[in-house]
Structure 1
Amino acid sequence: MSGAAGGSWRRAAAAAWPLLQQAAAATLAWWIARALGDHDDPFFAPVAAVVALNASRGDRGRNALRLLLGVLVGIVAGEVVLAALGGGYGSLALAVFAALVVARLLDEPRIVLAQAGAGAVLTVAVGTDSAGFYRVVDALVGAGVALLFSQLLFTPEPVALLRRAETAALDRMAAGLELTCDALERGDERLAERAMTALRAMRDGLADLARTRQASTSVIRYSIAWRFRTAPSARERENAGHLDLLGGSCLMLARTALAAGPDERALLAPALKEITAILHALAADPGDQAARQRATERVLEVVGGLNDSGLETEAAGRDAAAGLRAVAADLLVFAGVPAEYAVAAVREGAGRFEVPEPPRLPWPHRLARLRHPFHKSD
């Protein structure tokens, strides 16, 4: 199976599990709300559970609390307006506006604004004394189930959470450079445009990685289960931060390689193909020490071949070689080589490093990784 296909399967498998959790949470919330409440159709409880869990792993607990806050703000605003002015179009408009203003003053994310507005609408539109109460009960049930799932039953292990984000980012980089390599070999300008588009879109993946780094901090702070993982999580969070630089270097490499002449392109294609293979191998298991060790050795082989390739006889070739060295240095740093040693090794085109062991996952996560069909390097 190719590296690109493996990346697609990894993304599909990673997406399926949270969706199954949302479906199970919705069902459980509906059952609990029907068992507790006097109303026959507590539809908002499963809706609240799904909406609360519809966030990145590591941020779902806060999402549940934000949903609950929005519902409470909306219902209070609606009840106050109903008590003062009664029902009607004007009351609806005033209640929604007041709820949105309060939510905005609280400086909360958009989910709070949306739930505040919806809560005010339902309270005024239904116009019964029980509507707001039942909506609060449903919100409490849905948010409570979401917190049960996100903070207790399926709390993400912070290092594993970061590793998944690293895999996604590395897959995106590899896919972009793979298209770049194809464009160099075929001289296809459309492929070149697709490669640049893919690498520019990679910034979204890096933004997701940045959010995951922040979420891993929240997991440590609010989850009882993973308090003891503070040190390894901090190490992996710092390591993941190097991928920002690597992503920028990959974009620069693609631009300089595609701007080179036919002779330089022919010399660059094998090196880009090897870099792409290294990225795919790291994406398959970013936390595997052996994979990182092999990556450092292969990267240094690529850089070592630059001096004898004749690539730097022209200005465009020198620019591309500089881009290649930047990617090589950032790969070495991600693998665990100190930055000053990585830069020196890339500049000299030689070196030998024993990469340190990355933070290890707890044994249940290691076992799951061993059973994963893509844990081996490509």
Structure 2
Amino acid sequence: MASRVGQRAAASWSDRVTLLRRYGWHLAQCATAAAVAWLLARYALGHRQPFFAPVAAIVSLGLSYQQRLQRVAEVTVGVALGVLVGDLFVEVFGVGAIQVFVVVGLAMTLALLLDAGPLLVTQAGVQSAIVATLAPGPVAGLGRWLDAVCGGIVALVAAAVVPGSPLRRPRQEAASVLRELAAWCHDTVRAVREQDEELAYATLARARNSEGQLADVQAAAYDGLSIARSSPWRRGHRSDLLAMSALSVMLDRAVRNGRVLLRRVTVVVRRHEQLDPRILTLLGRLADVIEAIAADLEDRRDPDDSRELLQQVARESAAVPVGTSLSDDVVLAQVRSMVVDLLELTGLDADAARAAIPTSAGETPPDRVDQ
């Protein structure tokens, strides 16, 4: 029990460290933008306590790349509108519960009438409430509004500046999933040869827990596309990221077919059956090719060599007779299905990928089994 708790704690800590790596640039960007906004408001505008400048920069940037410039612009307008309404109202009527009621209602109503999104309307209300509950600062008139505008402008500039790492991350995430898929295949071969039931079930459990990794690939591709669309310096990456988005679909299919294969292997090992040695050899060869595809993806290499190796595995699969046993047929069919998925992943269209699988007399090419 204690060991399981320790394992969960270690996994949780590892997940948090991974999350920190993922959002580390975001955090540094927010902190830098806040500091720059404060400096500009303090020394360029001459405001002694520019509270709203860093607040507007942080709130506007957030922690997401999705539709970033549009979202930053919306939040900036919402913050500025809320501060403007609050500043004007408090300047005339002072601070109090009634003033808060009127200011928040007015700011959100104006934002809604401007056909704003939910984010803008919410920020208008939040910022107007802050202004209405704070005592007037040393900057008279529209000083706090100018601070908010200053922070928003800094956030807009910062939003357009992104590093290359989020654009590389889809390939890195996809390569990680492929290496995990290759590891399943290697462990499957070992589990059958050694009749290791514990290893077979442990490998199946890892495969069933792979949804998070696949979701990470799709999220990374989506974030990358958002960057390519919003940053004027990253537009050239758009076609590559669109290809990565399509690739994630093929990767998902290959992983699902791998799970079907693993479920059958647990039956084989539990019943103390044996698979045709040629199938195990094919599976080991396939694992090696998958590792090569992962390296191609990560290093942005053309996958021609890996595609040829996949086609060779497909040709060799025709030498394995069908009808010998149910387990042989199921595992062989899944190996072929995975080859089809991986051929598509390397750039072949669906018809060419299926045509690459040779058939025996009276046999039809295998369809995918998406489980």
Q: Calculate the TM-score normalised by the size of structure 2.
A: 0.68
1:197 corresponds to which of 198, 209, 214: 209
Native 8 Å contact 2:251 2:342 kept in 1: no
Q: 1:238 to 1:21 in 2, by over 3 A?
A: closer
Show the counterpart of 1:170. 175
Matched, 1:288 2:301: yes
The aligned runs of 1:248-327 (5 Å cut-off) are: 248-260=252-264, 261-262=267-268, 263=274, 267=280, 270=284, 273-274=287-288, 276-285=290-299, 287-289=300-302, 292-309=303-320, 313-315=324-326, 317-327=328-338
Q: CA deviation at 1:126?
A: 1.5
AA paired with 2:175?
Answer: L
Show the counterpart of 1:39. 47
CA distance in 1 between partners of 2:144 and 2:337 (Å): 56
Q: 1:321 to 1:93 in 2, by over 3 A?
A: farther
Query: In percent, how many aligned pairs have the same letter?
Result: 24
Q: CA deviation at 1:206?
A: 0.9
Native 8 Å contact 2:171 2:298 kept in 1: no
> Deviations 1:265-293 (Å, cap 9, x if unpaired)?
983752563354134313422x322xx12
Q: Calculate the TM-score normalised by the size of structure 1.
A: 0.67
Native 8 Å contact 1:34 1:40 kept in 2: yes
Native 8 Å contact 1:58 1:156 kept in 2: no
3-state SS, counterpart of residue 128 of structure 1: coil
Structure 1: where are the runs of 5+ without partners? Answer: 1-8, 350-378
Structure 2: where are the runs of 5+ without partners? Answer: 1-16, 269-273, 361-371
2:248 corresponds to which of 233, 244, 248: 244
CA distance in 2 between partners of 1:270 and 1:132 (Å): 74
AA paired with 1:171?
Answer: S
AA paired with 1:303?
Answer: A
Matched, 1:70 2:78: yes
> Deviations 1:66-104 (Å, cap 9, x if unpaired)?
220220342355457658976433543554455556656
Native 8 Å contact 2:218 2:248 kept in 1: yes
Native 8 Å contact 2:42 2:50 kept in 1: yes
Q: CA deviation at 1:192?
A: 2.5
Q: CA deviation at 1:176?
A: 5.6
CA distance in 1 between partners of 2:216 and 2:230 (Å): 21
Matched, 1:137 2:141: no
Q: 1:39 to 1:54 in 2, by over 3 A?
A: same
Task: Number of aligned residue pairs: give it.
Answer: 326
CA distance in 2 between partners of 1:316 and 1:92 (Å): 72
- Whichever of the two has the greater Rg, that structure is 2
Q: CA deviation at 1:245?
A: 2.0
Q: CA deviation at 1:249?
A: 0.8
> Deviations 1:194-245 (Å, cap 9, x if unpaired)?
33122355224314413433542344xxx2x566x4xx733x2442232232
3-state SS, counterpart of residue 259 of structure 1: helix
Q: CA deviation at 1:12?
A: 7.9
Q: What is the alpha-carbon root mean square deviation over aligned residues?
A: 4.2
3-state SS, counterpart of residue 131 of structure 2: helix
